[in-house]
Amino acid sequence: MNEQEGNNLHEKISYTSSMMNIKRMSPVIGAEVIGADLRSKDQSEFNNIREALAEHSVLFFRDQPLLSPEEQVTFATQFGPLHAHPAAPAKEDNEAIFVIKTDSKSKIANGNGWHTDVSCDKEPPLVTMLQLHEVPELGGDTLFSSMYAAYETLSPRLKAFISKLSAHHKSEHVYRGRYSDRGVTDKSHYPSSIHPVVAAHPLSGRPVLYVNPSFTTEIHGLSKHESRALLDLLFTHQSRLEFQVRFQWTPNAIALWDNRSAQHFAMWDYWPQPRRGHRVTIKGAALEQGNEIDSKYYGNLRLSSSRL
């Protein structure tokens, strides 16, 4: 897709693809898909979903039945082989299923901080699919932020500076002891990797800002203080409200997101109510350095100074 085509698509509020209606939820990121059946084996329907995901970074499906683990895995594997989480508890009879479970006894809530899934892996997952079976009466929303927009809205000089940098992504501080209350025994070590700060999306080729406050610990080659200052600046920029969409879950709703072009944050504002579901992730490839470009996909954005 070229830049002009991207701009044209960004002008559409909703459009019909096959038998589905795809309705944008913000000018920057996210769309709701109405009329899709994720149990369907219709290849053209899946192709339309895959194209919509590439365009919007995260898709939401409310009109879905409760998927069996086999049905969820069958849909997800159309994107490619599944990724195995390095720490989280899996469903006993289906290791591909990451069981999402938060209740009054939980010490942590999955996803409760800005991140992209398992960025500490050498080949981080590309796509994640989550269906929540039980949701709180109020709260428990998930926020998504566009890393396409986060990169594009940086100044040209800052883009040039970070375009050749790489960063350490570590997980020891995240995963050790994290799932002990669910019977998971810690491993001897957890993954860490170095990825480009600006990565090329494997499908679109567009640059994304690929650092996050959960796993990214330092910029390679900078001093500790320089690294901290730059990461804090980038983390603050990534979480701007202008780049976000917020999804209010309903029972059996599904979110499908791209881990290269979006970050997410699951709110834990519903304790002690339960929140449960099943998640699967699709393998990705090692990240490649993104090219410094001056695109205009988000020319409609006017960033606030955070005060009147």
Phi, psi (degrees; rounded to nearest 5) at 208: -130, 150
Is residue 307 flagged as an active site residue? no
The token pair at 272 is: 């002690």
**Extended strands (E) in 149-210:** 166-170, 192-196, 198-200, 207-209
Query: Pick the catalytic residue: 117, 169, 178, 206?
Result: 117
Write down the catalytic residue from 169, 264, 275, 278.
264
**How many whole angstroms separate alpha carbon 45 and alpha carbon 136?**
31
Catalytic status, residue 115: yes
Which letter does DSSP use for residue 287 in this model?
Answer: P
**Tokens 């428990």, residue located:** 140
In whole angstroms, give the CA distance from residue 22 to residue 13.
Answer: 9
- 3-state SS class at 144: strand
End-to-end CA separation in angstroms for the chain: 37
Active site residue 103: no
Distances (CA, A) of 282 to 76, 141, 153, 233, 262: 7, 23, 29, 30, 15
- Considering the candidates 24, 56, 85, 115, report the single residue annotated as catalytic: 115
Strand partners, 102: 275
Q: Other C-beta atoms within 10 Å of 187: how many?
A: 12
Pairing of strands 192-196, 262-266: unpaired
CA-to-CA distance for 1 and 4, rounded, in angstroms? 8
Catalytic residue among 85, 275, 278, 279: 279
Is 195 labeled as catalytic in the residue annotation?
A: no
Catalytic residue ranges: 115, 117, 264, 279
